[in-house]
Amino acid sequence: MGEKRGEVTVLLLDLNRLDLVRSRMERITKIRGLVSRWYDANEPLKGILAESIRVDANEGEFTAAVVAYLEAVGFPW
């Protein structure tokens, strides 16, 4: 039922219109860059980047999309 409800929400709110899709992709691209730097970093920079990514994910635009991306790439919460 949740999947169908989500599909209806996307349709009703037109969440897949081009400007929103483009904005989400730009946001994910920026997060991807931060995660890439995090993977390559050593402490203490790695810890600072991780906290920054967590704060950004929770407070920035498209939170659900960013969190889903971070979970998909195995970023630790």
What DSSP string runs through 12-74?
HHTTTSHHHHHHHHHHHHHHHHHHHHHHH--TTHHHHHHHHHHHHHHHSSSHHHHHHHHHHTT
Q: How confident is the model at residue 53 (pLDDT cuts 50, 70, 90)?
A: very high
- Whether 12 maps to a domain, the answer reads no
For residue 44, the model assigns a pLDDT of 96
- Whether 10 maps to a domain, the answer reads no
Least confident of 8-22, 34-48, 53-67: 8-22
- Whether 9 maps to a domain, the answer reads no
Q: Domain of 68?
A: 18-72
- Whether 4 maps to a domain, the answer reads no
- Whether 13 maps to a domain, the answer reads no
User: For the chain, how many structural domains are there in total?
Assistant: 1
- Whether 45 maps to a domain, the answer reads yes
- Whether 35 maps to a domain, the answer reads yes
